Structure 1
Amino acid sequence: MARRTQSRFIFEIVENSRVFRHQFFANGSRRADCATCESRVPASEPYNHHWRNDIKNNRSYCIQLGSEEKQILKTIEDQAIEEFILCDGSITARTNDFLLDSGIDAVPQLLRFLSFATDKLEASVGFYVDVKKERMYYESSPLNIENHFDIGEAVDMIFSMLLEKISNYVLLHHKDPLEACVIRRMKVTVKRFCHSPKSKSIPVSKLPLQYQVKNAAECLERGSNKLSSDLIKLVETYINQEEPGRPIPSTLKVNLYSFRVCSTSKELYVVPHLLSGDDVDNTPTFIIQTDVVGGFQGLLEVRNIRKFLKVDSQDRVFECRQCQSHFVDRVHFALHKQIACGRNFMVWSMDKDAIELHENCLPLPKEYFKYEWVGLASKRN
């Protein structure tokens, strides 16, 4: 696994404008400016105006759902659909291209869609593998995904471990490398844990794993002794207003931050949403939690904003004591431990000429997903 992208984010005042820049680094030296993360607004405007169009322009971490897509989600829930087949021919026939397109685009897109209105997903991936005259089916063990920002790295981990298992198997049993395998079909099994309809409070998801390991934030409950409920309501009202030119309330003495994803590197980072207090040690500070469509989901209080914003300096080579695998990123190491080193991955030998027949199928609209996904219902219409 490669080390997380090293970068920094700066603001510059140019005449009457405030310019945000994202810069990449290599070995401590600046390598390039990111072409997709520069934004410019009048210097007097709130910081959140830099990110106003993120949801519209960046589908790598936020999606848009219309009434048709929400009806599909309801059908998936009503028919208890948990298995989704990525159809043959949906992606180019070459195995490497199939794996690349499905891992970077098709599977993460499906999981983001299914994560709407959920507390978490429990997902596993299965590959149909042809090698010589044998067909096998490899399936990962389920992995819990509790924040939509973790979907990309979770899929990357599952794919990497599945391909490692397949490579070891075919080398041992067929004396062939992974390149001899043909993979053109896959199945994704997803169990959705939806929000409780009885709950009146806004569900607050866990932080992305990248920020959980920092241990610098905590869930903010209503009625907390640390902050009055009036201040919390004021913050929520400010966030949910959509008037672009509204003034910052003088009573709102808080600092707010939000998550953002770089369109180029797919790097997740934190940016200011509203800064109204210079004393960072004593000004109430929150990270704004949003769901997969960009809707406000709750607040998390940040106890140590310097630690929260700082690039993780403790990333080093981690060795798994169970399987001796090595990692240079604590997020990948945490995902590896969650999936128990791949010990519960399964493989079945199949009849190569067998045909799968499914009576209850729900084709997902290709104009939305780009790829031909079909849901397999366990309940009849």
Structure 2
Amino acid sequence: MLRRTYSRFIFETIGDSRVFHHQRFINDLQTDCPTCKSCVETREPYSQHWNNDYGAGTSHQIKMSPVERLLLKRIETERIEAFMLCNGSVSGRTNDFLLEAGMEAVPQLLRFLSFGAAKLEVTIGFYVNVKKERMYYESSAMSVEHHLDIMESVDMLFSMLLEKISNYVLLQQRVPLEACVIKRMKVTVKRHVSPISVQWRSTARLPLQYRVKNSDIGTDNRAHIDTVLAQICQSPSHKFNVVLLPDALQANFYCFRVCTSTKELYAVPYLLRTDDVDNTPTFLIHSDIAGNFQGLQVIRNVRKFLRADGQDRVFECRKCKSRFGDRVQFALHKRIDCGRGFMVWHIEEDAIELHHNCLPLPKAYFKHDWFGLGTKKTEKLH
């Protein structure tokens, strides 16, 4: 039986304060999220609830200082697309390694590589030892078109890989998945880079969670709004500056936020000028992985856009009969064709894998034992 889980995001006015709550429900049992609560004065815009996310450690966005930008430039210059992660933990247990890699190490690497990229093509491979046999299992490539899809995509690739490994070793060697030892993994990432430009009519893709809902996104034909917002988008700022909005402009704005505890993605108000949501122009603020403003997109039906996707329906894959209670996971499952393109290679027991021109990634930033596998001689960057 699938668990019925859903969340509710509410604002409560207490005196002169406005309090934001994230409430989580599992089979109708309510729990309050410890990381999403915030309180500001009621006269402040809603954006004040989220402005301190980075400082409080509750932001999904990353820091890209000149040092990180130079590292990314070097990765591009040396055409590094493959990255190896080794189990550097004291325990060395496979479960701990996979959990940390899936929840932290791999998503962090992909978020870093997504900076300045329009799309990533990601392949993940596990080096597996079982009963004195060495194997390498690799997924097919998955296209990640929005940085907010990274966590769900990694989860799907990990789940499918482990399912394939489990079935294979049980059939071929009569042992369960728990008998396997995994101490290394390889992540191959092809970055598709496009010129970065801020447009008020943003053409950026929505996160998959909102694309599968068929959210009503379009354009607004009111000329006076076009003029005002076009001027704001052309102003030299990395953030959407609400101060530049004229007081007479009646429009509402929303942005995306990710819960630190549950990793849920949801849209929150950034600036609300009126409660008449049916007749007020409403816009989504697009930002990149570093929080840089990328433009605006019109939300035609804000009620539909904000409504949580129902969890009471089960989706069944026609090809493999797998069942999903989540529409996003079902879409990702279909994107990799039920895992049909996954491969397994047997490695000779005494084989030695040599890599030249390796680039250790700084643990001060990545916090894990990553190194890039270069394909070009190192060149001095100017």
What range describes the TM-score normalised by the shorter chain of this pair?
over 0.9
Match of 2:55 in 1: 56
Quote the offset at 1:245 in angstroms. Answer: 10
Partner of 1:6, secondary structure, is strand
Q: Distance in 2 between matches of 1:348 and 1:132?
A: 16
1:356 equivalent to 2:353? Answer: yes
With structure 1 as the length reference, what TM-score do the two structures score?
0.92
Given that residues 92 and 98 in structure 1 are in contact (C-alpha distance below 8 angstroms), is that contact kept between their aligned partners in structure 2?
Answer: no
Q: Distance in 1 between matches of 2:66 and 2:189?
A: 22
Match of 1:139 in 2: 138
Identity of aligned residues (%): 57
**More displaced stretch, 243-252 vs 318-327:** 243-252
Match of 2:77 in 1: 78
Q: Distance in 2 between matches of 1:302 and 1:245?
A: 18
Give the letter for the 1:345 counterpart.
F
Q: Are residues 189 and 336 of structure 1, via their aligned partners in 2, closer, same or farther at CA, if it must alter by over 3 Å? A: same
Match of 1:284 in 2: 281
Quote the offset at 1:177 in angstroms. Answer: 0.4
Q: Are residues 113 and 219 of structure 1, via their aligned partners in 2, closer, same or farther at CA, if it must alter by over 3 Å? A: farther
Quote the offset at 1:53 in angstroms. Answer: 1.2
Give the letter for the 1:206 counterpart.
R
| Cα-to-partner distance string for 1:206-245 (whole Å, 9 max, x where unaligned) | 111111122223255xxx6355531322553799487999
Q: Distance in 2 between matches of 1:181 and 1:321?
A: 31
Given that residues 6 and 24 in structure 2 are in contact (C-alpha distance below 8 angstroms), is that contact kept between their aligned partners in structure 1?
Answer: yes
Q: Distance in 2 between matches of 1:237 and 1:117?
A: 19
Match of 1:43 in 2: 42
Match of 2:261 in 1: 264
1:17 equivalent to 2:14? Answer: no
Give the letter for the 1:176 counterpart.
V
Q: Are residues 10 and 206 of structure 1, via their aligned partners in 2, closer, same or farther at CA, if it must alter by over 3 Å? A: same
1:102 equivalent to 2:101? Answer: yes
Match of 1:225 in 2: 221
Match of 1:341 in 2: 338
Q: Distance in 2 between matches of 1:272 and 1:348?
A: 49
Q: Distance in 1 between matches of 2:162 and 2:226?
A: 50
With structure 2 as the length reference, what TM-score do the two structures score?
0.92
Q: Distance in 1 between matches of 2:374 and 2:46?
A: 46
Q: Distance in 2 between matches of 1:98 and 1:225?
A: 52
Given that residues 124 and 143 in structure 1 are in contact (C-alpha distance below 8 angstroms), is that contact kept between their aligned partners in structure 2?
Answer: yes
Give the letter for the 1:96 counterpart.
N
Given that residues 4 and 329 in structure 1 are in contact (C-alpha distance below 8 angstroms), is that contact kept between their aligned partners in structure 2?
Answer: no
Partner of 2:12, secondary structure, is strand
Given that residues 136 and 344 in structure 2 are in contact (C-alpha distance below 8 angstroms), is that contact kept between their aligned partners in structure 1?
Answer: yes
| Cα-to-partner distance string for 1:79-128 (whole Å, 9 max, x where unaligned) | 11100000242574100001100000000000000000010100010000
Q: Distance in 1 between matches of 2:312 and 2:235?
A: 36
Given that residues 116 and 292 in structure 1 are in contact (C-alpha distance below 8 angstroms), is that contact kept between their aligned partners in structure 2?
Answer: yes
Q: CA RMSD in A?
A: 2.4
2:306 maps to which of 294, 305, 309: 309
Q: Distance in 2 between matches of 1:148 and 1:96?
A: 26
Quote the offset at 1:316 in angstroms. Answer: 1.1
Given that residues 315 and 329 in structure 1 are in contact (C-alpha distance below 8 angstroms), is that contact kept between their aligned partners in structure 2?
Answer: no
Q: Distance in 2 between matches of 1:239 and 1:32?
A: 42
Match of 2:297 in 1: 300
Q: Which aligned pairs between 1:139-218 and structure 2 lie closer than 5 A?
A: 139-196=138-195, 204-218=203-217
Give the letter for the 1:293 counterpart.
A
Q: Which aligned pairs between 1:320-335 and structure 2 lie closer than 5 A?
A: 320-335=317-332
Quote the offset at 1:163 in angstroms. Answer: 0.3
Extract unaligned runs of 5+ from structure 2.
none
Q: How many residues align?
A: 376
Q: Distance in 2 between matches of 1:306 and 1:139?
A: 41
Quote the offset at 1:275 in angstroms. Answer: 0.6
Given that residues 135 and 351 in structure 1 are in contact (C-alpha distance below 8 angstroms), is that contact kept between their aligned partners in structure 2?
Answer: yes
Quote the offset at 1:350 in angstroms. Answer: 0.2
Partner of 2:155, secondary structure, is helix
Q: Are residues 60 and 372 of structure 1, via their aligned partners in 2, closer, same or farther at CA, if it must alter by over 3 Å? A: farther
Given that residues 146 and 205 in structure 1 are in contact (C-alpha distance below 8 angstroms), is that contact kept between their aligned partners in structure 2?
Answer: no
